[in-house]
Chains A and B, each alone.
Chain A
Amino acid sequence: MNEEVLKELKDTVLTWDRDKAEPVARKAIELGVDPVRCAEAIADALKIIGDKYSRGEAFIPDLFVASKVADLALRLITEEIRKQGKRMDSLGKVVIGTVSGDIHNIGKNIVATLLFAEGFEVIDLGVNVKADGFLKAVNDHKPDILALSALLTTTAMEQRNVIEGLKRAGVREKVKVLIGGSATNQDFADRIGADGYGATGPSGVKLARQLIGR
């Protein structure tokens, strides 16, 4: 029965069935299925869609909707994992956001979704996030990676301000900083002291794995 529910959970994500996400997750919990195995089943499904995306057989909307379905189920599953005092494995923790003065979120959302599908734990701070907001998140969540997005040439400089803020607070060496967005490039990343620059969502994910050696 456990295997059947795990398969059902995985299929729910693979078929983008938003309506079934929470009921199937609840059913798995009520049946006493190990919540860590439930999380792994969901991660497997996301990996399958992520691999299809890499081969050009699935597209960004497929990934986004699958991630939303997975997220609905995972909210219940992770709560159960916490209750049971267990731990869920992830590739690493990423705090992501669009910098202050910039309210563009599509590029940032694509990267966040790709990172999530890849197996990272992602904490999305949203848009128009001030340097202090990023610093607080780094202190609170202790992420492996801080990912900063900026669409505008003028707000790109805010990425530098965030990095300078991390330096002043003495936490710069505790987190890898990844930048991206139309207004940025490798030269700019080097100039402001970022650890990496992702020109596209997929290259950002690849770089994130490299930065944490996974």
Chain B
Amino acid sequence: MRKGFQRRFDPIKVLTDSQVEAIHRATLNVLERTGIRFESVRALNVLKQRGCKVDNETKIARIPPSLVEECIRMTPSSFAVKARDPKNDLCFGGNTLYFMGSGGARYTDAKTGDVRMPTQEENDQYILLLDALGTVDWFSSYSPYFEVEGVEPVMLCPRSLASRIRFTSKVSRGAQATDTFIFETQLAQAAGMQLIGVCEAAAPLAYPEDAINAAFEYTGAGFPMFIAAGSVMGGSSPATVAGATITNNAELLGAVVLIQSMRPRTGIIANDVVNPMDMQTGGLLFCAMGVNLHQMAFNQIWTQIYKIPTMNCGAMASNSKLVDYQCAYEKIHTAMVSALSGANSLILHGGVTAELSGNPILAVIEDDVANIIGRTIEGFEVNEDTMALELIHAVGPNPGSYLGEEHTRTRWKKEYFVPAVADRLSYDEWITEGKKSIIDRATDRMEKILSTHKPLPITAEQDKDIERILEDARKHYRNKGLL
């Protein structure tokens, strides 16, 4: 089981108790009065049986507050996920923080910002790198790259998972696009692991058929679920943080009701991926101030009130095109706020260019960032030993020194974090060593990892099963006219 990081102090609260109550009541009101559109007759039938008022023409289900609250109570406050290697199993919930590797549609050059299609080998090497990085606990769907040279778009999701099975033994999230969930479920089962399934809304207040079919498939396989809504403040949700919190809550609680009605007590991790709209271009503002406030409110309500584990995607990518100062500051303030406000997982490593691209060198740098964030929320111990009162007395005033003390020698490593790639040389040493930037240093570390790290191998039989399932997928999509 992966340990992740353990938060040892109370999370930051951005809302008062009465504000939490007001938002929850408003959410229940939206679910009961406005309702959620489910683009699936099967889902509407399930919801009708559970007491929802269903309008078959508009496909809107109006969900009674009692059912919403029953399903919240039914959702476990923590749940485990089985990885291909038991040492990479996860347990979401409580005070644990895990990091998910990010990615992007394509590969970006870390120095020039030029974006191009990655090759299959580059995709697989990136997975291998993330397998080796200690702070990457799990993988997103179709990651690290959403597009790969020579891979047909409709085959991208199943082939992406096949690569992640071969090059990492860590947990992956499944995808929901166009029947991919059928083949991803089979791939995971062939590898003897669980996926975290996915059910992602198309905000505002609607679930497309693919998302619902994916939920039926993944819960049918007994997998836990990742739910998300992905609204855009000012576009698919109100522009205000409070309003966007209510619609996002309603969308996610709609999924909670549906999933608990499909398979009671299914483990769920609720994701917050709400970005303000850039009102000049219509694009998404990643890592914006509004994201921070939204995630803080979300974490407070879901982890502390609903007691359902949370995921934050605010730091998945920077709007910067380069691995530069903007990329760093945008991602770090959002990731840090997520961690401090109680998220159980957040996404970080490698995403840049507003989700358009990813870079493995950035992922290496962000391995350090994740360690710093994780170690920060672990806080520090206050006891007789760490307060070191007797030592302070023994060392006394200057010229006393703590450097030669056993206490210093044995405690400093626990109290400090030594980054793997940050430049902390003296100026003269930096000149002598060739004026290396952080990108140079991270590149060195990446190359070293890739030349030595080996993934936990799959068996020959598993490899054969994977190829068979991928061939079945190709046949399926050919029959549908998508290949």
Which residues of A does B touch, CB under 8 Å?
53, 56, 59-61, 101-104, 106-107, 110, 152-157, 161, 182-183, 200-202
Contacts and interface: CB of A to CB of B under 8 A. Distances in A.
A153 B147 contact: yes
20 contacts: A53-B280, A56-B280, A59-B279, A60-B279, A101-B208, A102-B208, A103-B39, A103-B202, A106-B236, A110-B282, A154-B156, A155-B178, A157-B153, A157-B154, A157-B482, A161-B481, A183-B153, A200-B281, A201-B281, A202-B281
Contacts of B157: 154
Nearest to A111: B282
Contact of B178 (A60, A154, A183): A154
Contact of A154 (B39, B177, B235, B280): B177
B234 interface: yes
A106 B147 contact: no
Contacts of A107: 282
Contacts of A200: 281-283
Contact of A153 (B156, B202, B277): B156
B191 interface: no
A27 B367 CA distance: 66
A154 B279 contact: no
A201 B283 CA distance: 9
Interface string B192-217: 00000000001000101010000000
B210 A101 contact: yes
B208 A201 contact: no
Contacts of A106: 232, 235-236, 277, 282
B282 A101 contact: no
Contacts, number: 58
Which 8 A/B pairs are nearest by Cβ-Cβ distance?
A: A59-B279, A154-B177, A106-B235, A110-B282, A154-B178, A103-B202, A153-B153, A60-B279
Contacts of A60: 234, 277, 279-280, 282
B146 interface: yes
Given A103-B39, A155-B178, 14 more contacts: A56-B280, A59-B279, A60-B234, A104-B202, A106-B232, A106-B236, A106-B282, A153-B142, A153-B146, A154-B154, A156-B153, A201-B281, A201-B282, A202-B281
A211 B279 CA distance: 26
Nearest to A59: B279
Contacts of A154: 153-154, 156-157, 177-178, 180, 482
Contacts of B232: 106
B202 to A, nearest CB: 5
A213 B274 CA distance: 39
Contact of A61 (B153, B202, B279): B279
A49 B1 CA distance: 58
A103 B206 CA distance: 9
Contacts of B178: 101, 154-155
A103 B481 contact: no
A183 B283 CA distance: 13
A157 B277 CA distance: 26
B394 to A, nearest CB: 63
Interface in B227-286: 232, 234-236, 239, 277, 279-283
Contacts of A61: 234, 239, 279
A9 B146 CA distance: 48
A107 B208 CA distance: 17
A192 B210 CA distance: 24
Nearest to A188: B153
A16 B149 CA distance: 48
A161 B178 CA distance: 15
A152 B105 CA distance: 11
A182 B142 CA distance: 15
B324 to A, nearest CB: 22
A102 B156 CA distance: 17
Contacts of B282: 60, 106-107, 110, 200-201
A167 B146 CA distance: 30
A205 to B, nearest CB: 12
A152 B283 CA distance: 15
Nearest to B281: A200
A59 B282 CA distance: 9
A202 B208 CA distance: 28
